[in-house]
Amino acid sequence: MKPFGKILAIRLSALGDICMTLPVLDSAVRAFPDIQFTLLTSKAGAVVAGTVLQSPNLTVKAINKSDYKGITGLNMLYRELKTLQVDAVADLHDVLRTQWVDLRFRLAGKPVKRIKKGRTEKKALTTGAIKKQLLTSVERYRQVFAALGMDFSIDYDGASHAATLRDKPCAVAPDTLSVGIAPFAQHRGKVYPEALMRQTLSLLVEKLPEVRIYLFGGPDEKIALDTWAAENPKNIVNLAGQQTIEDDLRCMANLKLMVSMDSANMHLASLVGLRCLSIWGATHRYAGFLGYKQREDDCIEQLLPCRPCSIYGNKPCKFGDYRCLTQIEPATVTQRIIEILTS
């Protein structure tokens, strides 16, 4: 029996986190077809959701957070959301902005459940107090809906969404030995050093001459990656800053493998069922941010006692050398790529 008629789910940022909500939301809308779901998210999140999720009982509302500054702006946002006439709220973000909106809905008599982020456990990971796998973010999102009386299993099938996306043209040449590489992330503690990544590309082309490499990134990374591609235009194509997120997803649906940091591109790949070889530095998959259905043995990392030192990769290295990343050999990364591509 359905507990509510209309549910508002909120996840405003960051893009990787928004991506991790989508397998949960997709499973929820199919498990409860009589409930009308609305996802409140960012403009970029709305593009991703609209590309991979199509359901008659799901509506996506996109906003710019900057349009709703301060209490006045948040009250304006609440008044807009109030017109949706939702019966309950699933707060998948739990930050000050969403907490204020939650409060307004609670005062109006609407049930609200928030994600339990496990902040204490995650802090214990970074201090070395514990070294174990915590709940994944995907499971934490599912538990919010379960707390509202909607218990279901997550059964999102990225491969089926990829098949739909392949019907449309994209920059990736079909039926090629193709690998996507997204070499950047928001914080330095997550980024494999540029010199080492460029060595990896050279080794990969040397050992696998038929490989086609597609570089992914944002507009701010286009110029740097143009330089990388220019070094080997036969094998390397730069897509950074030249297409939409929807285009990126279409391209990923046609790739054989993605190579990414602990970043949004890992999660975009997961949405289209693309295997992702991920490189981890200051952060660790134990915190629960590994891409949906990605493999633990596809995580390349150094087993250092100082890892993880940060949940988000935004803290400076206490040694100053980011040894968690600099000690990963390009030959190691190259060999794993080749093993996967040729298996």
pLDDT tens, 195-218? 999 999 999 999 999 999 999 999
Residue 244 clears pLDDT 70, i.e. is over it: yes
CB-count burial class (<10 Å; 0-12, 13-18, 19+) for 246: middle
Higher-confidence residue: 169 or 83?
Answer: 83
Higher-confidence residue: 1 or 306?
Answer: 306
Can you give the pLDDT at residue 1?
43
Of the pLDDT bands very low, low, confident and very high (cuts 50, 70, 90), residue 54 is: confident
Of the pLDDT bands very low, low, confident and very high (cuts 50, 70, 90), residue 328 is: very high
Torsion angle (degrees, nearest 10) of CA 185, 189, 192, 193: 110
Degrees, nearest 5: CA angle 20-21-23? 80
Q: Which domains does the chain have, with CATH numbers?
A: 6-156 (3.40.50.2000), 161-342 (3.40.50.2000)
CB atoms within 10 A of CB 69: 11
Closest listed residue to residue 63, CA positions, set 108, 29, 93? 93
pLDDT in tens, 94-133: 999 999 999 999 999 999 999 999 999 999 999 999 999 9
What percentage of the chain reaches a pLDDT higher than 90? Answer: 95
Can you give the pLDDT at residue 12?
97
What percentage of the chain reaches a pLDDT higher than 70? Answer: 99
Beta carbons within 8 Å of 280's beta carbon, 6+ residues apart: 190, 261, 262, 299, 300, 301, 307, 324
pLDDT in tens, 141-190: 999 999 999 999 999 999 999 999 998 889 998 889 999 999 999 999 99
Question: What is the pLDDT averaged over residues 235-251?
Answer: 96
Q: How far apart are CA 144 and CA 337, in angstroms?
A: 37
How far does Cα 156 stand from its chain's mean position?
15
